[in-house]
A and B are shown apart, each in its own frame.
Chain A
């Protein structure tokens, strides 16, 4: 089997485990390349169906292109879309640095959505190679009653046996593409012809490597205007994927604090 087939098969296996084991399951859709690829594999795993709600936590600060994308594919793929709103930044922890404080709105919006819908499990398209604390994640990652991540005492996970039993009031974050890399996602998107928001491609010498809110996400210098050029760029670049995400770089532990509190 080829590399992409191996990692795709593993993702499908995880998706099917989650669907079988978790009663109220939903998938988070950020409209970015990773969650698009994940949603694509959901349709593969369930033979053309998306058998659970698709959640978009809307900060209200996404790029216009992203809203257009959301509208189009919600229709085309017949998604059961649930949009969650986020509280204003003034309500967030004031000890966080500015960009992290802004990003924390998304966590608050997510918590409200989980409480409202009673989801017991969320499929989230994060990857280990994005960032150091994500590299330490489990595939089935339990969250406490306040959505918190107890990274000091994570459950054992081996032989594709995941933590599928959990107490009342807690829920699971399931990470089906944890083992993928950025370039894997691009190569797969190319092979499968997965639609992608145009912001990822170069306009006037700049493109977005990673898509977040307008006010805290910045493009990187790049001439890559097609998917092949993006793949080629990634084979040579020494710039980190999330270098344009302000909240990752404000202080050594800002992102860790966000994640411990329930950020994706």
Chain B
């Protein structure tokens, strides 16, 4: 085989034999301005995982487009992935100009195509250079092409020198994911790398998701002339705390005033590299900085067609595709939206032994579930002088929340009021919070948009918790269609919350239609009606399930009273 310039980086025999780049290579070079590491990433679709491996390490990208072929699907896929990987500085080299007669009109046509696609991606094109080159002959690489004197822009080398250094992560809020805890000697050292922000000795750190706090007693260093008093983003450090907290790998330390979001559900925009497709209901190990969680795919919202950036629906995500999905974990995850913090807002998924995908986090439509979301810093929790257990003994039963959820017409209100009556007759301190009633008072300012529904349930949740803490047995009867909202109430009072799924399918509910609402919704007179024009997310791990299709009201009531007498008994 004759010599090829590509052999410089295609070091593997298999690559040279086939004339194709299989894996990423790195090569160092320098211009008078600075030093560079050039990462050569393969273009072939089969090696997309290698392309991602290479590109993810870069500060900027040179996208090479063949002047004969123009913007092929592969180029678009790469542009899209660069965008997903957070690379905003892109230089485009239209290569092999010698094979299109060094024609200016061909270059102009391709430039227009490239600009169109990149601007659709949301890239700021002001600083994007598009350069006609003939790499083999060196035209417009380091020196200006005499043969293409119609081109007046910078050469490739000049464009590279114009790239801005990445933005400082020092000014961002502190994120210090715990990598390990060492006890080699008398010191107990919490080790990790500061991703963003800075740490000073004396700072009070909050660890998420555990919500523990402690002060930084020291910043440890080996072989240092003086002990450091501060450390900043990018440094791999070790600290000791003023208290012996039980902290594990995966916790994220922040300052108290600006912690990461806590949630067990989030949206991810992901690229999929797995051989087996990603499907709804599949479980994967998720790695986010140093933390690991098991997540389940709750929903595949859409597949993004990289060719025209269109969206389509699908039940699974194929290898090399890009999709928007909703992921759910069992416990709370400390995370940041990618738009807020690139370094703590991205994750990978692992199946068996392999990384099979990477994604960016969005919290759009989902709320922070941090238990004490207090807006004013002058409000403090006051401890009650009457312990919960005293209230329970006085009442003869425990307090708690029986949170009924289900479609409109499933039987929530009927069962709630029957149960209240039954329990009251037997001496229980019991009260019902009903959806319709609450909307006349506590939530009269709210409508039925997704945001208002979230707020409605938040208020009801807090009200229910106040009742339950006062020793009451609270029964709620709200559609509460979003799983995340119900989970958030559960987090407010984890031991007190009992989720009860009042189950009846849409068809049954529509036939019952006690308030005539389904008929109205079908006629288009009600916007965002659950089950018709708004989603309902059934519980996955409800404490109790009551099927009102298969059982009579009496049977359902018996099931509920049985549950209450078993669960809310006071033990001595």
Q: Is the CB of B13 within 8 A of A256?
A: yes
Q: Is the CB of B236 within 8 A of A151?
A: no
Tell me the smallest distance from the CB of A46 to a CB of chain B, in Å: 6
- Bound CA–CA A133/B15 (angstroms): 11
Q: Which of A20, A46, A155 interacts with B355 by CB under 8 Å?
A: A155
- Bound CA–CA A159/B271 (angstroms): 14
B27 at the interface (CB under 8 A from A): yes
Per the 8 Å Cβ criterion, residues 462-483 of B in contact with A are none
**Known contacts A129-B28, A154-B50, A158-B358; is-contact A49 B184 (Cβ 8 Å):** yes
Q: Is the CB of B179 within 8 A of A155?
A: no
B206 at the interface (CB under 8 A from A): no
Q: Which residues of A contact B9 (CB under 8 A)?
A: 132, 135
Q: Is the CB of A20 within 8 A of B56?
A: no
A181 at the interface (CB under 8 A from B): yes
Q: Which residues of A contact B358 (CB under 8 A)?
A: 156, 158-159, 161
Q: How many residues of B sit at the interface, in one of the four size bands?
A: 35 or more
**Known contacts A135-B9, A136-B12; is-contact A156 B26 (Cβ 8 Å):** no
- Bound CA–CA A122/B28 (angstroms): 26
Q: Is the CB of A156 within 8 A of B50?
A: yes
B220 at the interface (CB under 8 A from A): yes
A67 at the interface (CB under 8 A from B): no
Q: Which residues of A contact B434 (CB under 8 A)?
A: none
- The residue in A128, A155, A161, A165 that gathers the most chain B C-beta atoms within 10 A of its C-beta is A161
Q: Which of B27, B221, B352, B353 interacts with A135 by CB under 8 Å?
A: B27
- The residue in B57, B220, B350, B353 that gathers the most chain A C-beta atoms within 10 A of its C-beta is B353
Tell me the smallest distance from the CB of B379 to a CB of chain A, in Å: 38
Q: Is the CB of B234 within 8 A of A9?
A: yes
**Known contacts A16-B180, A49-B184, A135-B27; is-contact A161 B353 (Cβ 8 Å):** no
A45 at the interface (CB under 8 A from B): yes
Q: Is the CB of B353 within 8 A of A20?
A: no
Q: Is the CB of B238 within 8 A of A256?
A: no
Interface string of A12-33 (1 = CB under 8 A from B): 1100110110000000000000
Q: Is the CB of B57 within 8 A of A181?
A: no
List the one stretch of B153-161, B185-193, B294-302, B513-521 in contact with chain A: B185-193
- Bound CA–CA A45/B221 (angstroms): 9
**Known contacts A16-B191, A136-B23, A181-B28; is-contact A155 B354 (Cβ 8 Å):** yes
Q: Is the CB of A47 within 8 A of B189?
A: yes
Interface string of A152-188 (1 = CB under 8 A from B): 1011111101010111000000000001010000000
Q: How many residues of A sit at the interface, in one of the four size bands?
A: 35 or more
- Bound CA–CA A5/B273 (angstroms): 33
Q: Which residues of B contact A12 (CB under 8 A)?
A: 193, 236
Q: Which of A131, A152, A155 interacts with B22 by CB under 8 Å?
A: A152
Q: Which residues of B contact A72 (CB under 8 A)?
A: none
B372 at the interface (CB under 8 A from A): no
- The residue in A1, A129, A158 that gathers the most chain B C-beta atoms within 10 A of its C-beta is A158
Q: A11 — nearest CB in chain B belongs to which residue? A: B236
Q: Which residues of A contact B350 (CB under 8 A)?
A: 165
**Known contacts A9-B236, A156-B49, A158-B358; is-contact A256 B11 (Cβ 8 Å):** yes
Tell me the smallest distance from the CB of B341 to a CB of chain A, in Å: 13
Per the 8 Å Cβ criterion, residues 332-351 of B in contact with A are 346, 348, 350
Q: Which of A51, A151, A159 interacts with B346 by CB under 8 Å?
A: A159
Q: Is the CB of A135 within 8 A of B235?
A: no
- Bound CA–CA A219/B229 (angstroms): 46
B150 at the interface (CB under 8 A from A): no
Q: Which of B25, B28, B193, B220 interacts with A47 by CB under 8 Å?
A: B220
Q: Is the CB of B26 within 8 A of A128?
A: yes
Interface string of B352-365 (1 = CB under 8 A from A): 11110010000000
Q: Which of A10, A47, A161 interacts with B222 by CB under 8 Å?
A: A47
B249 at the interface (CB under 8 A from A): yes
Interface string of B1-45 (1 = CB under 8 A from A): 000000001011110000000111111100000000100000000
Q: Which of B11, B236, B249, B355 interacts with A136 by CB under 8 Å?
A: B11
Tell me the smallest distance from the CB of B497 to a CB of chain A, in Å: 35
A6 at the interface (CB under 8 A from B): yes
- Bound CA–CA A108/B287 (angstroms): 36
B415 at the interface (CB under 8 A from A): no
Q: Is the CB of A20 within 8 A of B234?
A: no
- Bound CA–CA A131/B352 (angstroms): 32
- Bound CA–CA A180/B173 (angstroms): 30
Q: Is the CB of B184 within 8 A of A156?
A: no
- The residue in A19, A45, A154, A157 that gathers the most chain B C-beta atoms within 10 A of its C-beta is A157
Tell me the smallest distance from the CB of B31 to a CB of chain A, in Å: 15
Tell me the smallest distance from the CB of B14 to a CB of chain A, in Å: 6
- Bound CA–CA A151/B355 (angstroms): 17
Tell me the smallest distance from the CB of B303 to a CB of chain A, in Å: 20
Q: Which residues of B contact A155 (CB under 8 A)?
A: 49, 354-355
Q: Can you list 14 A-B contacts with CB-CB less than 8 angstroms, sorted by A residue number? A: A44-B222, A44-B223, A47-B182, A47-B187, A49-B184, A129-B27, A133-B12, A136-B11, A156-B50, A156-B53, A156-B273, A158-B52, A165-B350, A253-B13
14 extra interface residue pairs, beta carbon distance < 8 Å, beyond A6-B234, A132-B12, A161-B355? A5-B235, A9-B234, A12-B236, A16-B191, A44-B223, A47-B185, A47-B220, A47-B221, A136-B12, A136-B23, A159-B358, A161-B348, A165-B353, A256-B13
Q: Point out residues on B near A: beta carbons under 8 Å.
A: 9, 11-14, 22-28, 37, 49-50, 52-53, 56-57, 85, 179-180, 182, 184-185, 187, 189, 191-193, 220-223, 232, 234-236, 238, 249, 273, 285, 287, 346, 348, 350, 352-355, 358
Q: Point out residues on A near B: beta carbons under 8 Å.
A: 1, 5-6, 9-10, 12-13, 16-17, 19-20, 43-49, 51, 128-129, 131-133, 135-136, 138, 151-152, 154-159, 161, 163, 165-167, 179, 181, 192, 252-253, 256
